[in-house]
Amino acid sequence: MFDKKVAKLLNQQINKELYSGYLYLDMNNYFQARGLDGFANWYYIQAQEERDHAMLFYQYMQNNDLKVTLGAIDKPDKKFKRDMDVLKAGLEHEQYVTQLINDIYAEANRAKDFRTMQFLDWFIKEQGEEETNARDMISKMELFGSDPKGLYMLNQELKARVYSAPSLVL
């Protein structure tokens, strides 16, 4: 039998991951409007990843006979004036998601819910990678973004990113 607080947090995380996807689609829109299709591609793939993360939580709950309750997904409320604003908001959001995952893990640990802790191990590693990627984008933009040729090359690098679905076994 699952701890009620752990189950509630897992269910809430589905919504948070779907919101993350919405946020990244909004960032994709920003860069599409700017004509930076590589940056747009990067955030579009981020949105796909977040959708899949939500589905992993969804499937985990169903596989463990936990009731899934879907809630409304908030509209992204960030307004971006500069490219760097988007990148910094992306890092800030990933740090927020890391804290959410850590909170679920801590609650699962309190409840001695080792199955959920093991499930979350992949997400903890993934969040480390997400924060690193977001910091790297900020660093590259600081180095090259003010130079049109540098921005072009960075955009081309981001354009080459392809999506690969997570291979987490539930």
Cβ atoms of 55 and 88 within 8 Å: the answer is no
Cβ–Cβ < 8 Å for 41, 158: yes
Q: What residues does each domain of the chain span?
A: 4-70+79-159
Distance CA 122, CA 94 (A): 15
- Whole-angstrom distance, CA of residue 35 vs CA of residue 124: 34
- Homologous superfamily, domain 4-70+79-159: Ferritin, core subunit, four-helix bundle (1.20.1260.10)
pTM of the model: 0.93
Q: Containing H/E element for 9?
A: helix 4-34
Reading the chain (170 residues) residue by residue, the pLDDT tens digits are 799 999 999 999 999 999 999 999 999 999 999 999 999 999 999 999 999 999 999 999 999 999 999 999 999 998 999 999 999 999 999 999 999 999 999 999 999 999 999 999 999 999 999 999 999 999 999 999 899 999 999 999 999 999 887 766 55
For the chain, report the end-to-end CA distance as a whole number of angstroms: 18
**Closest by CA position to 18, among listed 65, 60, 56:** 56
Tokens of 90: 């992306």
